[in-house]
A and B are shown apart, each in its own frame.
Chain A
Amino acid sequence: MKNLDIEKLERKNIYTTPNNFFENVQENVLQKTTFLLDKEEVTTKTTKIIQLNWWYAAAAAVVIMFGTLFFYNNKESDVPNIAQNKKQNTEPATTKTVAQIEPTENPNANLISDENYNSPKSNLNSLEKDETKEIKKQQISIAKIEQPKKVSTQKSNTDEQVEMILASFSNEEIATISKNTEQDVYLDLYN
């Protein structure tokens, strides 16, 4: 054993292994790795990752901005129309009072003057009746002319009527009305 050189020795495996050892190793490894494969497949199937690109969000933000601006602009455009309507309503009424009605050429004027010249009181009454009839006719014609503007002046008519009615009331009556209106408001709230 003095000149022992292990390089010259045979490379032997002196350890033992069971039969079909390597086949069992392969099956065990494949079982564990296919289990991992199945798990990965299950996770990929069940979990869907929806990636939201940043430009989707940016596009949505732009759309929302434009939508709100458009909506806001439309709202603003409506406001001046409403303001104009209010202005129209506050303009002085175009209706004419009896005094403002200009005397028109009466086709029956000669008849009145000629026929009723020599009559007594009945003739005067008939004259008054004719005059009121004419005034009413003129008022009706004015109302007809002003009919197309009904929508815009309706409010003004009602406001004028209210004003006329209020003008006819005394201060005491107005005070009582105001008290009642307050009560009505409360009633309206609770109804």
Chain B
Amino acid sequence: MKVKDAEIIAMMQQPRSQEKGLRALMDAYQSRLYWHIRRLILDHDQAQDVLQETFIKAYQNFHQFKQDSQLYTWLYRIATNEALQQINKAKRMQKTDEDAEYYLQNLVADNVSAEGDEIQILLQKAIQTLPEKQKLVFMMRYYDDLPYEEISKIVDMSVGTLKTNYHYAKQKIEDYIKENYEE
């Protein structure tokens, strides 16, 4: 993976091979980024827009990538910021925070496949009840298995705070599932 990142960076830095580098970048990270955005935003069309905007911004600002972190860390940061902007837009449409939570849980129900089992659906709904940063930390650790050191660069939090947040998030989700699971 590291070698591939180096090749992508080299291609993106040369004007003649920028298009080829962008294709390689999207091939390597579009799936991971999409699902990260989708779990935050829930709606497919909005997630698609955010994903496209992420890559366009990555292309436009590639000269600002200082290579002091992993390439996917930098991409995750762009994607997360774009997704949070979209979420905040949607929240402003809701009158209260409770309405926002109710809206998100409805979105989960609307977007879940018919084959999805109940626990997985409840898991998703439980994630939507978490505060914004806790949600982010939990999803990046739980679904993407990112190291705490890399997560700290994305959300600007210390490793200790991240670990605490993840622990509390996990407990909340389990409690939510236990309360709402109908046997």
Contacts and interface: CB of A to CB of B under 8 A. Distances in A.
Contacts, number: 84
A80 interface: no
Contact of B173 (A6, A33, A36): A6
A25 B48 contact: yes
A142 interface: no
B35 interface: yes
A16 B44 CA distance: 8
A14 B174 contact: no
B120 interface: yes
A52 to B, nearest CB: 27
A25 B49 CA distance: 9
B14 interface: no
B56 A32 contact: yes
Nearest to B111: A15
Interface string B50-83: 0110011001100000000000000000000000
B30 interface: yes
Nearest to B23: A26
Tell me which of B39, B60, B174 has the highest count of chain A C-beta atoms within 10 A of its own C-beta.
Answer: B174
B178 A4 contact: yes
Contact of A36 (B39, B55, B60): B60
Interface residues of B, number: 39
A26 B21 CA distance: 12
Given A5-B174, A17-B44, A30 B22 contact: yes
Chain A contact-residue range equals: 20 to 34
B26 A25 contact: yes
A22 B35 CA distance: 12
Contacts of B19: 30, 33-34, 37
Nearest to A28: B52
B48 A1 contact: no
Contacts of A6: 123, 142, 170, 173-174, 177
Interface in A15-29: 15-18, 21-22, 25-26, 28-29
Interface of A: 1-2, 4-7, 9, 11-18, 21-22, 25-26, 28-30, 32-34, 36-37
Given A14-B120, A29-B26, 15 more contacts: A1-B177, A4-B177, A6-B177, A12-B120, A13-B35, A14-B116, A15-B44, A18-B44, A22-B26, A22-B30, A25-B34, A25-B55, A29-B59, A30-B19, A33-B55
